[in-house]
Amino acid sequence: MKIIVGLGNPGKEYENTRHNLGYKVADLLSEKLKIKINKEKMEGQYGNGKVGDEKVILLKPLTYMNLSGNCVSKFLNYYKVSPEDLIVIYDDIDIKVGKIRIKPNGNPGTHNGMKDITNKIGTKDFIRVRVGSGKPEFEMDLADYVLSNFKKEEMDDINKSIENASDAVVKLLKDGIAEAMNKYN
* CA 168/CA 117 separation, integer angstroms: 22
* CA 106/CA 104 separation, integer angstroms: 7
**168: helix, coil or strand?**
helix
With a CB cutoff of 8 Å and minimum separation 6, the contacts of 48 are: 35, 55, 56, 57, 58
- DSSP assignments along 111-165, one per residue: -HHHHHHHHHHT---SEEEEEE----SS---HHHHHTSBPPGGGHHHHHHHHHHH
Task: Say which of 2, 18, 19, 111 is annotated catalytic.
Answer: 19
In the DSSP assignment, the letter for residue 28 is H
Confirm if 149 and 16 have CB atoms less than 8 A apart: yes
Please indicate whether residue 19 is annotated as part of the active site.
yes
Residues with a catalytic annotation lie at: 19
